[in-house]
Amino acid sequence: MRHATLTVMTTQTTTIYTRRAEFLAGIKDTFPMVIGAIPFGIIFGAVAIAGGLSPAAVMGMSLFVFAGSAQFIGANLFSQGAGIGIIVLTTFVVNLRHALYGASLAPYVKHLSQRWLLPLAFTLTDETYAIVISHYQKHDDSPYKHWYFFGSEVIMYLNWQTCTLIGIIAGQQFSNLANLGLDFAMVVTFIGIVVPLVRNRPMLICAAAAGITSVLANDLPNRLGLMVAALVGIVAGMIAEEILLKQRHNESKETQS
pLDDT digits (tens, 9 = 90+) for 152-169: 999 999 999 999 999 999
Domain stops at, among 182, 211, 245: 182
State the pLDDT at residue 80. Answer: 79
State the pLDDT at residue 172. Answer: 84
Burial category of 82 from C-beta neighbours within 10 Å (exposed 0-12, middle 13-18, buried 19 and up): middle
Question: Measured in whole angstroms, how far is the alpha carbon of residue 11 from the centre of its chain?
Answer: 39
Residue 238's CB: how many other CB atoms inside 10 A? 13
CA distance 127 to 125: 5
Residue 4's CB: how many other CB atoms inside 10 A? 4
The fraction of the chain above a pLDDT of 90, given in percent, is 39
CA distance 177 to 142: 45
Tens of pLDDT, residue by residue over 197-217, are: 787 888 899 989 989 998 999
Q: Looking at the predicted structure, is the pLDDT value of residue 51 above 90?
A: no
Does residue 8 sit within a domain?
A: no
Query: Looking at the structure, do residues 30 and 143 belong to the same domain, yes or no?
Result: yes
Q: Looking at the predicted structure, is the pLDDT value of residue 9 above 80?
A: no
CA distance 80 to 93: 19
State the pLDDT at residue 133. Answer: 93
Give the least confident one: 106-110, 188-192, 203-207, 238-242.
188-192
Does residue 11 sit within a domain?
A: no
Give the least confident one: 9-13, 45-49, 182-186.
9-13
How sure is the predictor about 8, in pLDDT bands with cuts at 50, 70 and 90?
A: very low
CA distance 183 to 76: 15
Query: Looking at the structure, do residues 43 and 154 belong to the same domain, yes or no?
Result: yes
The residue-averaged pLDDT of 211-228 equals 83
State the pLDDT at residue 189. Answer: 62
Give the least confident one: 73-82, 130-139, 180-189.
180-189
Does residue 6 sit within a domain?
A: no
Exposure of 231 in the CB half-sphere (CA atoms within 13 A) = 8
Going from the C-alpha of 65 to that of each of 74, 97, 122, 211, 226, the distances in angstroms are 10, 15, 8, 26, 19
Q: Looking at the predicted structure, is the pLDDT value of residue 4 above 60?
A: no
Domain stops at, among 154, 182, 210: 182
Exposure of 179 in the CB half-sphere (CA atoms within 13 A) = 4
CA distance 203 to 215: 19
State the pLDDT at residue 29. Answer: 95
Query: Looking at the structure, do residues 166 and 227 belong to the same domain, yes or no?
Result: no
Query: Looking at the structure, do residues 176 and 111 belong to the same domain, yes or no?
Result: yes
Query: Looking at the structure, do residues 118 and 163 belong to the same domain, yes or no?
Result: yes
State the pLDDT at residue 89. Answer: 81
User: Residue 70 sits in which domain range?
Assistant: 19-182
The domain tally of the chain equals 2
The residue-averaged pLDDT of 109-130 equals 94
Does residue 7 sit within a domain?
A: no
**Long-range own/partner contacts, residues 84-93 (CB < 8 A, 24 or more apart):** 86/222, 89/222, 90/222, 90/223, 91/65, 91/67, 93/222, 93/223, 93/224, 93/226, 93/227
* Residue pair 120/146 in contact by the 8 Å Cβ criterion: yes
The residue-averaged pLDDT of 142-160 equals 96
Write the single-letter amino acid at 250. Answer: N
Task: Please report, in angstroms and rounded to a whole number, the separation of the first and last CA atoms in the chain.
Answer: 57
